[in-house]
A and B are shown apart, each in its own frame.
Chain A
Amino acid sequence: MPPINFNDIEVLLPLIILVIWACLLLLVDLFIPKKHKWLTALLAAFGLALTLGFTLSQLGSESNGFCATGKPSICMVVLDGFSVLVNALLLLTGLLGVALAYGYLKRMGIERGEYYTLMLFSISGMMLMAQASDLIIVFLALELLSLPLYVLSAFARSNSDSQEAGLKYFLLGAFSSGFILYGIALVYGATGSTSLSQIFEIASVGTSSLLLTIGAALILVGLGFKVAAVPFHMWTPDVYQGAPTPVTAFMTAGAKIAGFAALLRVFGSAFPNLSEDITPILWALSAATMIVGNLLAIAQTNIKRMLAYSSIAHTGYILMAFVPYGNPEVAPVSIAAGLFYLFAYTITNFGAWGVVIALEQKESKGLQISDYAGLRRKYPVLAGAMTVFMFSLIGFPPTLGMVGKFYLFRAVLSGGYTGLAIIGVVTSLVSAFYYLRVVVNMYMFAGEPKTDNEFWLRFTIAGAALVTVVFSLVPQGLFAWASRAVLKLF
């Protein structure tokens, strides 16, 4: 075993800090009395902020870590602009997740310190996913991010829905992990390596083998499951509805970001030569996801379920960005657009879930869309923020969602996938129906919604609404960052 050098540590420094922090938090939490669990939340948030600081300090640096002896190109993990951007986004997700969870857990009587620790572990997995440059690490990261999520889904132990969600997620997650593992095995069989750069080198020599293609496809299936692409999405509505709402909010954003990061990492660095075979599959997955997600969302009356289908639909939109991944001319812009969309979706999504959390009552009350009636009269700011989020999810100006969709459709069109763009536009149009129904309920019907005054929740909602609007007016900086981050990958 080669000695671990300092450079290896440096590459994974934020991740290592986060893991250590999470372990310490697990211990410290034991000594925090039940009344003062806010301290745990605060410490978790502090750990995330600290890690975020270290992550951002890595901006601009690029190196590989844990490389094979004498072969500096074969490495386990990588640090580059892309990983920094994705990690920053993930840590932001974590911070938002803590902010949403704190009041909710107390209100629902499920306040336990492990919640935050599990979240930190899950984020570590996600970050590792973004930095992985070896299929084995990808798999490890996937499991590291998934297992805490299974537990978190079942966190409301007294609630049978939550238990069911956890178990279902676990079973199906295991099922899909099997596919990934099988895919990795086939790829190894075809190329004799699990290193992404090695696979690329070997695959680019000679003709592509069916074994390799099928292996890649199976990995795609597994990642497709994580990001909830149709037809691997069936778990999503049940799990998202059953899990405690802050967990759902965290999952919709965090797991999605990590899944897409892995998708990009694996397919962008290892399988660009297979694009001829993979692109049609991505095309079909994207189209099916957009259509099914949006159409089924229409029928929902429960807001969590509706947002779950909405989350599926948005997976479809983001997948659009990956369709031209093998075309080096279009891919950078397209992937950058996808990253931007992920950011837009994360912010908007957290805002929307924040409003859901604000209105949720014990025993899953206050979750029907009809429960939003009269919100404008009683809580105009909350209703205004929700309107902003709904508009952003539709892709209506002046919101981040609109800018994201604009970049996305532009990239897809420049890649020549006009049909996909049309499906995207038409399904967005369809989506207006169910998003606006919430707005209509809030503004035009009378009702008596109830919510408690929780500072951090309100703060998150207001902040998200503000960012959704303000950044839509000055999106260039972010997009430029995303473009810079992905440029090195192609």
Chain B
Amino acid sequence: MLFSEATTTSFFSLAPWLVFAPVIGLLINIIIGGRFSEKLIGAVASVASGATFIVSLLLAYSVWVGHGQGESIFLAEWIHVGSLSLDWTFRVDSLSTTMMLVVSGVGTLIHIYAIGYMHEDVRFKNDPSRFRRFFVFLNLFIAAMMILVSGDSYLMLFVGWEGVGLCSFLLIGFWFEMDTLARPSWANSNAAKKAFIVNRIGDLGFLIAGFLMFWYLGSLQFDEVFAAAPELADTQPGIIIAITLFLLVGVAGKSAQIPLFVWLPDAMAGPTPVSALIHAATMVTAGVYLIARSAPLYNLVEGAQSVVVIVGAATALFAATIAVGQYDIKKVLAYSTISQLGFMVAAVGMGAYVAGIFHLVTHAFFKALLFLSAGSVILGLERGHHLLAHAHNGGAADHDDEEEVRRTEPAEVFDPGDMRNMGGIRKTMPVTFWLYMIGSLALVGIIPFAGFWSKDEILLDASLKYPAVYWLLSTAAFFTAFYMGRQIWMVFFGTARHEAAANAQESPKIMTVPLMVLAGLSILGGLLNLPFKGFHNLGHWLEFTLGEVELLGLDPTVAGLSTLLALAAIFISWLLYGRVTLKQADRDPLKKPLGFVFTGMENKWFVDEAYKAMIVDRYTDVCRFLADVIDSRFWHDWFHEKLIVGTYNWFSNTGLNYYADQKIIDAFANGLGRTTKYLSASVRRIQNGFVRSYALSVFLGVVLILGYLILK
């Protein structure tokens, strides 16, 4: 006992290393990484991330040994102004350690994968010097994310929140001056800006929530806020509702919920490890974490909870339908992510925090797996494509000559992410195929894969509390199974619809091995929280932080129905995409039966267009109005030219200029000019290099001083 107590305390004090480790890693890479080989750069970054994982493990162990007793680790004073007093304090409890483990664990695997992925990516994109930059950003992300999940106050959380937003921006725009076709284009930088700006809207919500908290609750520190909240809820429940809803705006921004989800699909412009790490597994789940962390606030106001549930469920279904109509392998996954985030948000909105966090964890496993496998597919196609381009030019002998490959870039537009170019990859990339299958089954929710258990828990909670939401989510689950089936058939089965797909090559071990780990987690992740008595591990674990939680068993009806729906959806997708062999030019088989509905799905229900028409264009109109009418016509033409200049001219034309200007000012200015000229001339006369004049200057100084003393 004594021993365990001693170790516990010493481990808690490691908390700051969550942030220090990745920061040290990125500093090493920034400062001396220029001389490192790519392997070493990747190793430094991965070790830094791995160290974070180890610290997370030790912290989690400490919490476990201490029977869930968390601790706040003070690092430094921060803001002490008036009644506001905040410090850099790390909060280590079962909820935050869960997040730490997911972020650093999945993060480390993705770091390792990225060593292989970026090695090829920077070469296809023709700029190997960016390899180091990528890993610096990745480490920075881990650091920011750790601040986010370990902060002990809303403000520290917000610092991490903004930090990950910045990293997201930097990494989406990683190839800011070119698109995936290695041609100049601003698409990627536009995607980065879009993500950043949309997130600003969400962050404004977060900020307002923070201001309200400070104003009405007097603090931003979690425990103080939660302690003060019930009293306020009694007297002014509207304020709590406002706080929680403004927080929801922030959540909608970061976790891509309706109406702010539009940035996430575009964010797929970033390199695939980024899509997996930031835009699937970790950063976008920050919103879910925020709601879970703010559970004591949400529990006070049921109305706000309902709004959260509705937003989450609507997003889940809406995004799932869009995913059905996408052709880009990563876009499908992106909308799938939005949809799954909807599941999580709905869950935490219902108060089913354990289910939400559980799904967050399993989703991190299988969605990271899916994205990284998709990246493997894309690179496989690129390899095939480059091989072909090379072979066409008859330069097979100097295969390693990358210059050659670059120069012989074909003019033909080839998109390695377009599923219409794929088909039959099962045979060329078998390892990737099996990994992808595991990820898909987990996502679709086939027993016993991880996704089944977590999704089922959400559905069960919904069926008990919000029946309507249950049906919405079940429909979304149906669509999930359908679009994943569609994707699998299109990508891996049938025959290759493009030469590149036929020549696709399997990825190296450094990429596939981390995927195998993730696949293992996707299979076994359900063990975290099986719905049987005695197996609610995660539930009991989070109870330490969230208080009493409802632990549900397995409902055969709900589980059976969802499995049935999933199998049905897969079957339908087989009928449409698997049974017949598709050709490259074929229209999507769904187009005919669904007609304009499918057009809507294909075009993302025209949300971007609607936003453009409703908001962006209106905003431009306002800007134009301000520029043309207010600034140009009113301010410049009327106020400036007419009023000021006119008045001035009027004054000057009434003879004022003669008296004021010529007689007084000119005379003064001329006098000043003359004096300056005279002075500089005399200075130059003295500073002439002759010792005698220098001595004279000293002497004059003496005379002046003595004169002053005597005559004073």
Contacts and interface: CB of A to CB of B under 8 A. Distances in A.
Interface in B676-698: 683, 686-687, 689, 691, 693-695, 697-698
A224 B710 CA distance: 20
A231 B695 CA distance: 10
A225 B702 CA distance: 11
A171 B692 CA distance: 10
A235 B694 contact: yes
Nearest to B698: A232
B694 A234 contact: yes
Given A172-B695, A234-B697, A221 B712 contact: no
- By secondary structure, the B interface counts as helix
A277 B709 contact: yes
B702 A238 contact: no
B709 A231 contact: no
Interface stretch (A96-104, A198-206, A212-220, A323-331): A212-220
A232 B691 contact: no
B710 A221 contact: no
A234 B682 CA distance: 13
A230 B693 CA distance: 14
A238 B689 contact: yes
Nearest to B708: A281
A179 B702 contact: yes
Contacts, number: 56
A176 B693 CA distance: 14
Interface string A233-277: 011011000000000000000000000000000000000000001
B700 interface: yes
B705 interface: yes
Among B683, B705, B706, chain A packs the most CB atoms within 10 A around the CB of: B705
Contacts of B671: none
B698 A221 contact: yes
A33 interface: no
A168 B705 contact: no
Given A168-B694, A234-B694, A235-B694, A213 B709 contact: yes
Contact of B687 (A176, A217, A237, A280): A237
A231 B698 contact: yes
Nearest to B696: A234
A490 interface: no
B178 to A, nearest CB: 26
Contacts of A231: 697-698, 700-701, 704
Contact of A218 (B686, B700, B702, B712): B702
Contact of B683 (A175, A179, A277, A296): A296
Nearest to A216: B709
A175 B710 contact: no
Among B686, B697, B700, chain A packs the most CB atoms within 10 A around the CB of: B697
B695 A280 contact: no
B676 to A, nearest CB: 10
A210 interface: yes
Contacts of B691: 168, 171-172
Contacts of B701: 221, 224, 230-232
Interface in A82-130: none
A64 to B, nearest CB: 32
B682 to A, nearest CB: 12
A210 B712 CA distance: 11
Given A234-B686, A238-B689, A210 B709 contact: yes
A326 to B, nearest CB: 15
Contacts of B705: 217, 220-221, 281
Contacts of A237: 687
A266 B691 CA distance: 29
Contacts of B697: 231-232, 234
Contact of B709 (A214, A232, A238): A214
Nearest to A213: B709
Nearest to A288: B701
A218 B701 CA distance: 10
Interface string B201-214: 00000000000000
A225 B683 CA distance: 18
Contacts of B704: 231
Given A217-B706, A234-B686, A234-B693, A176 B698 contact: yes
A111 to B, nearest CB: 29
A176 B695 CA distance: 9
Nearest to A299: B680
Interface in B45-67: none
B698 A280 contact: no
Interface string A418-453: 000000000000000000000000000000000000
B680 to A, nearest CB: 9
Contacts of A220: 705
A168 B698 CA distance: 14
Given A234-B693, A238-B689, A296-B683, A280 B708 contact: yes
B177 to A, nearest CB: 23
Contacts of A175: 695, 698
29 contacts: A168-B691, A171-B691, A172-B695, A175-B695, A179-B698, A179-B702, A210-B709, A210-B710, A214-B709, A217-B705, A220-B705, A221-B702, A221-B705, A224-B701, A225-B698, A231-B697, A231-B698, A231-B704, A232-B697, A232-B701, A234-B686, A234-B693, A234-B698, A237-B687, A277-B709, A277-B712, A280-B708, A281-B705, A296-B687
Given A220-B705, A221-B705, 20 more contacts: A168-B694, A171-B695, A172-B691, A172-B698, A175-B698, A179-B702, A210-B709, A210-B710, A213-B709, A214-B706, A214-B709, A217-B705, A217-B709, A221-B702, A224-B701, A231-B704, A232-B697, A235-B694, A277-B709, A281-B705
Interface of A: 168, 171-172, 175-176, 179, 210, 213-214, 217-218, 220-221, 224-225, 230-232, 234-235, 237-238, 277, 280-281, 296
* Pairs of residues from A and B, 5 with the lowest C-beta to C-beta distance, nearest first: A234-B694, A231-B701, A234-B697, A232-B698, A231-B697
